[in-house]
Amino acid sequence: MSLPALPTAGLLLLRNADVFAPEALGRRDVLLGGGKVLWLGAPGEAPVSDAVERIDLAGRRLIPGLIDGHVHVTGGGGEAGFRTRVPPMKLSQFTTAGVTTVVGLLGTDDVARSTRDLVATLSALREEGLSAYGHTGGYHLPPATLTGSVRGDIVFVDALIGVGEVALSDHRSSQPTLDELLRLASDAHVAGMMTGKAGIVHLHLGDGARGLDLVTRALDASELPPRVFQPTHVNRRRALFDEALVLANRGCSVDITAFPVADGEDAWSAADALVRYLDSGAPPDRVTISSDAGGCLPCFDAQGHVCGMDVGQSGALLATLADLLAAGVPLERALPAFTRNVADLLRLPRKGRIAPGADADLVALDAAHAASLVIARGRVHVRDGRAVLRGTFEQ
């Protein structure tokens, strides 16, 4: 079978865009070429000939491509037997949701799923035109690795930028001690220093009453910079969210998960959590939102048995953004948690923003806040809301 080649990232002029970079810039034209933003300026002033391909956005909002910082690209699940393993995600599941960069990881199943499989899946997504990174390890300690150590994985494997999702305050975790968490965080931090990568520990938080106590103790007991620790799912309990605000004020970045929340549940929806975070006065650059896409979202009975499950979707990010806009939150206030904040934490300086020299990862939103045009690394993946580029096994 002969596979079609990806189209080259040639010159493309986006005209009459209402640009949020993520700050509001107003009406602009944007010139793309070679997978980068080449020029950004007033409509009609782009230094190009008439032969350059043009797309007129007619005033639609243009935002940076979303960065989904918590994705089970190989599929998650497995808590109720092998039949409950979630299948791997496909390219268009990300692009049609406005996601142009993913960070893949392993979860509960870091035995049947491996770091080797994760790296191969990230490489495949890169070949298909997405920007894809990952964390070594999984829920448990000692962590699942490719080279034999966390430091080795981050230093020698290009796609791996941190470690996670390491489970805390959860009956599925390996119940790590303070010393174990400090050693893991030290390895990630030093590897990040050596490579310029994020070098973070991405921490899954469960429903346990201990909450973020172990992270607080780690900050008190070490010289490690707070940015090394990034707890996620912090909106799953309201008391846990209050603890996360304290950590954010100490220098940690905290990650809100865009999972469904039922009426009366002791949790905050992602939209509610972001509003509460921003209104609290905590540093606005230390909050991110991810989807848990591809991950199993189980519920457990008192004996720890799975009594129901759902699967996370990257589409939850744009749905959360729509909820925020419907609640009257300005787009430029909401957008950094999905874009620039994530890029800065992960030390991806060309992601999460629209500016000359940045990667050409862009999303145009329609009136319903859905992705009408998606460009990843300079290539059009979605046009008029439909995927025009699909993964190898989606053809």
Query: For 224-279, what is each residue's pLDDT tens digit?
Result: 999 999 999 999 999 999 999 999 999 999 999 999 999 999 999 999 999 999 99
Rounded mean pLDDT of 62-83?
Answer: 90
Percent of the chain's residues with pLDDT above 70: 94
33 is a domain residue: yes
How many whole angstroms separate alpha carbon 303 and alpha carbon 176? 22
How much is the pLDDT for 148? 97
The tokens describing 130, both together, are 């997405």
pLDDT band, very low/low/confident/very high, at 303 (cuts 50, 70, 90): low
Rounded mean pLDDT of 208-232?
Answer: 98
CATH number (domain holding residue 192):
3.20.20.140
How much is the pLDDT for 115? 97
Asked if 338 and 317 touch (Cβ cutoff 8 Å), the reply is yes
Q: Same domain for 82 and 230?
A: yes
The tokens describing 315, both together, are 């589409």
146 is a domain residue: yes
Q: Same domain for 161 and 229?
A: yes
pLDDT band, very low/low/confident/very high, at 10 (cuts 50, 70, 90): confident
How many whole angstroms separate alpha carbon 114 and alpha carbon 306? 23
Q: Same domain for 246 and 322?
A: yes
How much is the pLDDT for 1? 43
How many whole angstroms separate alpha carbon 364 and alpha carbon 254? 27
Total Cβ atoms within 10 A of residue 79: 18
How much is the pLDDT for 295? 82
Is the bond leading into 7 cis (omega within 30 degrees of zero)?
no
Q: Same domain for 51 and 147?
A: no
Q: Same domain for 356 and 309?
A: no
How much is the pLDDT for 83? 82
pLDDT band, very low/low/confident/very high, at 188 (cuts 50, 70, 90): very high
Q: Same domain for 55 and 74?
A: no
297 is a domain residue: yes
The tokens describing 378, both together, are 């300079």
Q: Same domain for 292 and 381?
A: no
Q: Same domain for 189 and 268?
A: yes
Helix spans in the chain (H): 91-95, 115-127, 150-156, 178-195, 213-221, 238-250, 270-280, 315-326, 331-334, 340-345
162 is a domain residue: yes
How many whole angstroms separate alpha carbon 23 and alpha carbon 353? 9
Backbone angles phi, psi at 278, to 5 degrees: -65, -35
Greatest CA separation for the chain: 68
Query: For 77-122, what is each residue's pLDDT tens digit?
Result: 777 788 888 889 999 999 999 999 999 999 999 998 999 999 999 9
Question: Which residue ranges make up the annotated binding site for Zn(2+)?
Answer: 70, 72, 204, 233, 292
How many whole angstroms separate alpha carbon 18 and alpha carbon 373? 13
Rounded mean pLDDT of 31-40?
Answer: 97
Residue 361 is among the residues annotated as catalytic for this protein? no
User: What is the overall mean pLDDT for the chain?
Assistant: 94
Q: Collapse the DSSP code of 303 into the 3-class scheme (helix H, G, I; strand E, B; otherwise coil) and give the result.
A: coil
Percent of the chain's residues with pLDDT above 90: 86
How much is the pLDDT for 59? 97
Backbone angles phi, psi at 150, to 5 degrees: -65, -45
Task: For residue 119, give its domain range.
Answer: 66-345
CATH number (domain holding residue 363):
2.30.40.10
1 is a domain residue: no
Q: Collapse the DSSP code of 62 into the 3-class scheme (helix H, G, I; strand E, B; otherwise coil) and give the result.
A: strand
Residue that finishes a domain, picked among 345, 363, 386: 345
Rounded mean pLDDT of 134-147?
Answer: 97
Total Cβ atoms within 10 A of residue 247: 22
pLDDT band, very low/low/confident/very high, at 301 (cuts 50, 70, 90): low
Q: Same domain for 28 and 90?
A: no
Q: Same domain for 171 and 104?
A: yes
Residue that finishes a domain, picked among 345, 362, 385: 345
4 is a domain residue: no
How much is the pLDDT for 76? 81
How much is the pLDDT for 336? 98
Asked if 19 and 354 touch (Cβ cutoff 8 Å), the reply is yes
Structural domains of the chain, count: 2
Question: Would you say residue 300 has pLDDT above 70?
Answer: no
How much is the pLDDT for 306? 64
Q: Same domain for 360 and 218?
A: no
Q: Same domain for 117 and 206?
A: yes
- Residue among 68, 255, 292, 361 flagged as catalytic: 292
How much is the pLDDT for 223? 98
Question: Would you say residue 213 has pLDDT above 70?
Answer: yes
